[in-house]
A and B are shown apart, each in its own frame.
Chain A
């Protein structure tokens, strides 16, 4: 039984470059796994980290040193994530809030659904400026009892030996 009474905090800083995201998202998902969260929770965490960091890199400002800051906090049954970029202009915040709260992509849209997915997967989402004027997106995700509910799948009939 994992001792969940202690807090675990992680603070990562990486260059504002998409190539760094796979390592970051996989690391946080692995931490969640080590904290005893379900496979489904960890996969969803990986997606949240990916989308937040991708958004910060593609739409955030390179800021003072061209870095993205990723903070993760695990305590009991709650995970908190914070992603900061060097944005800090009011227009950046307003654009991001508009993208998150007003964008309603349809099922056949090919782009612009990253933050929409985050909103669906997280329990709370907040966008603001930190004390240094950087754009920051905070999310809270709680451990749910239904995390490992079976997923509806097309009728399973995995025929490995199909002649093609």
Chain B
């Protein structure tokens, strides 16, 4: 039994090596490891740019926060990035409280995150 978290993956047709994960529900100790493994596998298969859409993510605890930081590190090691979009105020509050907003790239919307990936790819 794990807490309800629905994770939907989709392609970005406009940006190569990029996948978008839409989170729906709560990311916590009951599903953090599964979530980590799913996205990690995607990064290791060559989709090194990940955009996490948090529009429908209601809740995040310290273990969930830990996997976001971990995924950010993995993506960077592979030459890509991990970006979060459409985050709710309560989750952003906790991320800012512990200073993790300096590690995790946060964008207001998908378009902004995808543009940032394109700019980063152009520089590299």
Interface residues of A (CB under 8 A from B): 18-19, 21-22, 39-40, 43-44, 46-47, 50-51, 54, 105, 107-111, 113-114, 116-117, 120-121, 151-159, 162-164
Distance to closest chain B CB from A146 (angstroms): 12
**Is A46 touching B103 in the complex (CB atoms < 8 A)?**
no
**Is B98 touching A40 in the complex (CB atoms < 8 A)?**
no
**Is B92 touching A116 in the complex (CB atoms < 8 A)?**
no
Q: Give residues 107-121 of B contacting A (CB, 8 Å).
A: 107-112, 114
- Residue in A47, A54, A107 whose CB lies within 8 Å of B94: A47
- Residue in B63, B73, B107 whose CB lies within 8 Å of A54: B63
Interface residues of B (CB under 8 A from A): 1-3, 10-14, 20, 26, 28-30, 59, 61-63, 65-67, 69-70, 73, 86, 89-90, 92-94, 96-100, 102-103, 106-112, 114
Distance to closest chain B CB from A145 (angstroms): 16
Given contacts A51-B62, A117-B62, A164-B14, contact A152 B96 (CB under 8 A): yes
Given contacts A108-B73, A164-B20, contact A22 B93 (CB under 8 A): no
Distance to closest chain A CB from B103 (angstroms): 5
CA distance A156 to B2 in the complex (A): 33
**Is A114 touching B62 in the complex (CB atoms < 8 A)?**
yes
CA distance A40 to B103 in the complex (A): 23
**Is A21 touching B29 in the complex (CB atoms < 8 A)?**
yes
- Residue in B13, B20, B90, B100 whose CB lies within 8 Å of A107: B100
Distance to closest chain B CB from A137 (angstroms): 15
**Is B98 touching A153 in the complex (CB atoms < 8 A)?**
no
